[in-house]
Structures are given as structure tokens and as C-alpha cells.
Amino acid sequence: PVSVVCHKNNKGGYMNHNSSQLILPGCAHWSRTPAETPMTVESSGIINGRIEDRFGKRGSSFHQGMPTYSLPLSIQNMPEGTRCFTLILADYDAIPVCGFAWIHWIAANIKFSELPENASEEYAVDLVQGVNSWASPLLKEKALPPEKASCYGGMVPPDRAHKYYLTVYALDQVLNLENGFYLNQMLDGMNGHILAA
């Protein structure tokens, strides 16, 4: 799991500067003390720090070249008051290759603490999934339509082994999102409702 340092000002998490805004997802309802066990996320699909091949380009489930067989996840020690989880799986090692961080998977309103393998496809009705980077307009003719890229899009690093960052958030409310949302929309909805990450 990735730790999040939470900041909040007296305006609900928004720091204004002229017409621009810096929005920091706040932890206004953080309910833990330092002595309590932090929320953790584990995956049986990661062995000795390496993601198993079946969740990426050497897997068996694809859509127009995009691997779609998603990692299993297990969330422990979620805080009291958790209504749902959101997740972001991103690759920042992609920046030198394509010019931006590659979003592999974003999902919201997850109501259970265990996601089995291939949940992105097999449990799609139980998840609200957003658009991943396989739909980026920068890919031009190779880009998938947003509706086809609103799911898990696995790892296909073109140059070397990459590091992938998974962040799971526990929220105190369900978000008003539908399949095909974008990451910025999820971040806006999460603002002020993060209990733990």
C-alpha cells in the first residue's frame, strides 16, 4: 500500500489561488490513533515483489492488445465507518516512455474487501470502473474507445521492468460515479471522505 499524507485547510480541502485550485483529498474523518493497525493491501498475484505474468502481457485474456485479467486484492484493517473502497493502479516509470503516468486500473464503490483474480471482468457488475490510459488520445489510432478501456488494463512495459503503484482508499461514502468516469472525477468525489489509504 502507498501511504498518503493528508492535508486539510479551513475551506474543506481547497486551497485557492486566483482562479486555480489545488485540491488535496482530505482525511477529515480520520478515526485512528497511531497505536492502531494501519489498513493494508495484499495480493496473492505478487510473488517476491514481482507481478505474475498472467496479469500482464504474458497473460491469456486480452482486448485489442490490452491485458484484462486483473490482480486479486485483499484489504485488511479498514477503519470503522468504511462504506466503500476506491483504487488506483498506476505506472510512473511510463513517463519517460510515453510522457505521462500510465493508469492501469481505477475502480470505485468497491463494497467488499476481497477482489478475486479477474474481478474486473467477472465481477464488473459489482464495480464501477473508470477509463484507463489505453484510451489516451495520445495513442492516436491505437487508442481504445473509453467504454472498452473502462476496466483493468494490464502491464505491457516496452523498455524494461517497471514499478507499479497501487493505492486503495477507504471512504466514508459511496461516490456518485458511473462506469467510464475519469480519474479526476473520482479524486474530486473522494475529497474530504478518505478514512484511510
Q: Which of 3-7, 34-38, 166-170, 175-179 has the lowest mean pLDDT?
A: 3-7
Q: What is the pLDDT of residue 64?
A: 87
Q: 171 forms bridges with which residues in the sheet?
A: 84, 194
Q: What is the pLDDT of residue 13?
A: 39
> Are 136 and 163 spatial neighbours (Cβ–Cβ below 8 Å)?
no
Cα(139)–Cα(122) distance, integer angstroms: 27
Counting beta carbons within 10 angstroms of the beta carbon of residue 183, is it exposed (0 to 12), middle (13 to 18) or buried (19 or more)?
Answer: middle
Q: What is the pLDDT of residue 74?
A: 96
Q: Which of 35-49, 89-103, 143-157, 165-179 has the lowest mean pLDDT?
A: 35-49
Residues 115, 118, 124, 129: is their CA dihedral positive or negative? Answer: positive
Cα(37)–Cα(70) distance, integer angstroms: 27
Confidence class for position 4, pLDDT limits 50, 70, 90: very low
Please provide residue 177's backbone torsions phi and psi, each rounded to the nearest 5 degrees. Answer: -130, 155
Helix (H) or strand (E) holding 66: strand 66-67
Q: What is the pLDDT of residue 16?
A: 33
Counting beta carbons within 10 angstroms of the beta carbon of residue 150, is it exposed (0 to 12), middle (13 to 18) or buried (19 or more)?
Answer: buried
pTM tops 0.75, yes or no: yes
> Are 4 and 32 spatial neighbours (Cβ–Cβ below 8 Å)?
no
Please provide residue 23's backbone torsions phi and psi, each rounded to the nearest 5 degrees. Answer: -105, 120
Write out pLDDT tens, residues 50-97: 899 999 888 888 888 899 999 999 999 999 999 999 999 999 999 999
Write out pLDDT tens, residues 21-57: 444 455 544 445 555 678 999 999 989 888 999 998 8
For 126, the 3-state DSSP assignment is helix
User: Residue type for 156, please?
Assistant: V
Confidence class for position 149, pLDDT limits 50, 70, 90: very high
Please provide residue 15's backbone torsions phi and psi, each rounded to the nearest 5 degrees. Answer: -115, 110
